Structure 1
Amino acid sequence: MQEIKKRNIRDGNDLSEKNKEQLVENDKIIRDPGQPSCKKNLSLRVFSRMVVISSLLIVVYFSTKEEKIKIFARQTDILVGKGEILECSSEYLKDVDKYEGCFPKECKRFVTDKVISIRETEELLTIAQKELQLKSSTEGITTVEFSNNLNVYQITKEKIKYAIVHHFGVEPSKIYMARPALLSAIKPISHKKTSTTFNNYWDPRTDNDLHKSFHYTAVLYLGDYDKDFRGGRFVFVDKKANKTIEPRKSRLSMFTSGSENRYYIERVTSGIKYSLTFYFTCDKQFNV
């Protein structure tokens, strides 16, 4: 019996020594970065951190991008009037300063859905479609001069003129409609087309740079963004954040034509966008 007890004690001691050795070996594996299992754990941790950092960077990038484009006038809103006062460009002020009574009270942009009626707009759209039918290209932008003596056109022209007179503080007898009044139809462009076959309407521009006689610009939209066409939004190019106008049938946009209102039009991706653009001048010799 004593012999059995001695043997058990000896075997127990041997087991204890083996357990100690195993614990020491395990501790070496954990502490030794050269072991394969440790390398795998480190790789997983590094990869996880990279994924988290990348995700944060993507969120920050797109959040910043969205902040740089602001909707100034949504298609779904019916605006009695919405404006923004701007600092006039020095070139524009120098030009209009020559014409007494035509100097703007404030350089600005103004949008309203209450000047031209839906009925008047639909009549103008019918005329526009007929005018552009024979001249319209299959792709890109087509513009024709609107020289029409129809009653609806004359009424529309006078309403827009007096809207500019009211909102910009101009004397009615000192502002004139300049040529041309433009009907525009914009269709999607295939990737096969080259830039030499159409006007690059998506390039930023200033109306007063296009023609020095242009001092006030008005755009009347004859269709609805995201219904009659997609794309084709009007974008004012500003330093802090671009301001976007989403076209709405009968929506009228008016603005001073200097570089304070530099703009471009987004590419139309489907449907046809119809609009009518009027230019007004302080220089009587350019009166239509």
Structure 2
Amino acid sequence: KSRKHKEKGLEGLLEGEKTSKEDESSKESTSGKGSTEEKFGPMPSFPRQRFWTRMVLILGTLVIVYITSGKERIVNFAKSKEIVNGRMQDIKCSKEYFEEVYDFPGCVPVKCGRFVSDILITNEEADLLLDIAKRGLAHGGSDGGASILDLHTGALSKGKNFVSLYQVNPNVFSSQDFAVYVRVRKKVQKAVALSFDIKPEKLFLTKPSFFSRLTSNDPATPHDEYWHSHVDKETYPSFHYTSLVYLNDYESEYTGGRFIFDDPDNVSTVIEPKKGRVSIFSSGKENLHHVERVKSGTRFAITVSFTCNKKFAISDPFL
């Protein structure tokens, strides 16, 4: 009986302390609220306050994402002032490209991508090729900003059309000129094979392979609008690998004219041309690209294209 009495007494004491603390806490809370309201006035509120606060935060985030997603991001793959021994960027092959090239064993790349080197050809070879381009193009030239010369067929831009250079001047080139071209072509073909881990004997020169001269002149025909984005495989179905040999220097001899890959997420991957620089890439949708419009001066280059399909092979030029 005494023990029960003590337990009841203890429960009562604890109950009293608990009630006392709750009262004190309630007073402090009321006192604090009152002092805040007295100092700053009643806190503002409006219907569905939490909902609208969240909506403002979400809209703010969307605005930031929209603004930043519209900005172009520049990636310099090869600057003209640097010397690139060999630089490779692997990218995933497009489905269409891989399915087509898969039919040609020994010519299937381990990965698609792009490659740049400044040590494949010599300055002397670049100078000789530039001389060939200038001598040939001197017999024609587009009315617009893009002129081409195909050493294999003799096709030459003239005015708004094409003429045969070998009919205009059959002796414009020598066997030594063609020998330089073939030597460079073989070097580039070997580099394509090494870059994509394919067999060089499974790779064939294809058309068109040509010299190009680009200027800032306004276009005279749609062919002069060289700055539009395109996929080589769609423009030239025989292409599987594209290469470019640049024959003069960006900035010192012309402005504009940079080679730009139009990559996903608004990324522009840029190659600045320079004399003797070679760029190589798989020709499928994975390498959508364009050439920046030349702003001043004259840009010279050669496109040397390769196919895995022997039926589209062409022979080297000869006298």
TM-score normalised by length of structure 2: 0.67
For the 8 Å contact 1:71–1:244, the answer to whether it is kept is: yes
For 1:81 and 1:244, how far apart are their aligned partners in 2?
16
> 1: CA distance between counterparts of 2:282 and 2:188?
14
- Give, in whole Å, the separation in 2 of the partners of 1:87 and 1:186: 31
Matches within 5 A, 1:34-113: 65=71, 68-113=73-118
Tell me, yes or no, if structure 1 residue 243 matches structure 2 residue 248.
no
Q: Residue by residue, what CA displacement relative to the aligned partner does 1:74-95 show, whole Å, maximum 9, x if unpaired?
A: 0001000111100100000011
**Within 5 A, what are the aligned runs for 1:19-34?**
none
Aligned-CA RMSD value: 2.0
Moved over 3 A (4+): 61-65
| Paired residues for 1:187-202 under 5 Å | 187-190=215-218, 196=221, 198-202=223-227
Aligned to 2:228: 203
Q: Deviations over 1:62-116 (max 9, x none)?
A: 9974x51221110001000111100100000011011111101110100000101
1:213 is the counterpart of 2:238 = yes
8 Å CA contact 1:236–1:263 kept in 2: the answer is: yes
* Corresponding residue for residue 255 of structure 1: 281
Q: 1:232 aligned to 2:260?
A: no
State the Cα distance separating 1:199 from its structure 2 match. 2.6
Q: Secondary structure, in 3 states, of the residue corresponding to 2:113?
A: strand
Letter in 2 for 1:270: S
Q: Counterparts in 2 of 1:78-157, with a 5 A limit?
A: 78-147=83-152, 150-157=178-185
Q: Which amino acid aligns with 1:184?
A: S
* From 287, 290, 303, the counterpart of 1:277: 303
Gaps of 5+ in 1: 1-60
Match in the other structure for 1:267: 293
Distance in 1, matches of 2:143 and 2:104, equals: 43
CA shift, 1:198, in A, is: 4.1
Q: Which amino acid aligns with 2:251?
A: D
Q: Does the Cα contact within 8 Å between 1:144 and 1:182 map onto a contact in 2?
A: yes
Name the aligned partner's letter for residue 152 of structure 1. V
Identity of aligned residues (%): 36
For 1:268, what is the secondary structure of its paired residue? coil
Range 148-157 or range 92-101, more displaced: 148-157
Matched-pair contact (CA < 8 Å) for 2:144–2:224 = no
> 2:199 maps to what in 1?
171
Change (3 A) 1:132 1:91: same
Q: Is the 8 A contact 1:140 1:198 kept in 2?
A: no
Supply the AA of the counterpart residue of 1:116. Answer: I
Inter-CA distance 152–87: structure 2 relative to 1 (3 Å threshold) = same
CA distance in 2, matches of 1:146, 1:243: 30
Q: Which residue of 1 aligns with 2:208?
A: 180
Q: 1:138 to 1:260 in 2, by over 3 A?
A: same
Instruction: Using structure 1 for the length normalisation, give the TM-score.
Output: 0.74
2 CA distance for matches of 1:114 and 1:172?
Answer: 19
Equivalent residue letter for 1:106: K
* 8 Å CA contact 1:138, 1:187 repeated in 2: no
Q: Secondary structure at the match of 1:212?
A: coil
Q: Evaluate the alpha carbon distance shift between residue 62 and residue 272 of structure 1 in structure 2; reply closer, same or farther with a 3 A threshold.
A: farther
Alpha-carbon distance change, 118 to 171 in structure 1, aligned in 2, over 3 angstroms: same
Rounded to whole Å, the distance in 2 between the matches of 1:102 and 1:197 is 34
| In structure 2, C-alpha distance between the alignment counterparts of 1:286 and 1:272, rounded to whole Å | 32
Moved more, 139-148 or 203-212: 139-148
